[in-house]
Amino acid sequence: MSDQFVRPVAHSLVSLQVGQARKVMISGRSVLTAIHKSDVQGPVNVSPLGLEGDDQADPSVHGGLEKAVYAYPAEHYAFWLEARIKAGVAGIDTALPHGSMGENLTLAGLLENQVWVGDVLQFPRCALRVEQPREPCYKFNAAMGFNTAVKAMAQSGFCGFYLSVDEPGAVQAGETFDLLPGPRHVSIVQRFAAKMFKHMR
């Protein structure tokens, strides 16, 4: 089939999650985190600092104008499920519901290698701009249940990306959105590789 007859992949918001900051035990100490998100039905207001009802426990690494919303591809969940099985993680939460990566938006049809810094996700009632990849920390290991989860994210590049709010409004699970190209100087893949290289030096 000729390329001219290939339809573009549809982009959609599979699910929408918010979370409140709470203390959990990680490596024997109490740590404040909002990585645990819960599914939200119906529209959620989006302001310049993120989704209504969503907390960021550590503003130095999450939140703010350039990290207001965290998006993650739904396609990567199979990878993490398999990684947890190989690591011997068991229990009722093995299925990994959406939001388990700590993301606000679980997206379908849009991977890191298709996204550039400055691209815009145009939803029906708001617009979100791609800013940077997520940098995994020790809290991600705890959330996944095995101590090499951060390494697995670094090696796979399955990091997701942070969004700023270009046009405040509202989003709702099930909506579709358009990807509007920005200047396309730096891709999310390139930015993530640079960040991981810096940490490994």
State pLDDT tens for residues 75-98: 999 999 999 989 988 665 567 899
**Residue 42 structural domain:** 10-200
Query: How many structural domains comprise the chain?
Result: 1
pLDDT confidence bin for 123, thresholds 50/70/90: very high
- How far apart are alpha carbons 52 and 47 in whole angstroms? 7
Whether residue 1 lies inside any domain: the answer is no
Whether residue 100 lies inside any domain: the answer is yes
Report the share of the chain in percent with pLDDT over 90: 65
Whether residue 109 lies inside any domain: the answer is yes
Q: pLDDT tens-digit profile of 31-60?
A: 777 777 989 999 999 999 999 999 876 766
For the chain, what percentages of helix, strand and coil (3-state, to nearest 5) are there?
25, 30, 45
- Largest distance between two CA atoms of the chain: 58
- 34: three-class secondary structure by DSSP: coil
Whether residue 5 lies inside any domain: the answer is no
Number of residues in the chain: 201
- How far apart are alpha carbons 70 and 147 in whole angstroms? 22
- How far apart are alpha carbons 89 and 38 in whole angstroms? 21
Nearest to 13 by CA among 134, 147, 175: 175
Whether residue 48 lies inside any domain: the answer is yes
- How far apart are alpha carbons 121 and 179 in whole angstroms? 5
Q: pLDDT tens-digit profile of 132-191?
A: 999 988 889 988 889 999 999 999 999 999 999 999 999 999 999 999 999 999 999 999
CATH of the domain at 68: 2.40.33.20
- Provide the CB-side half-sphere exposure for 23 (13 A, CA): 4
pTM to 2 decimals?
0.90
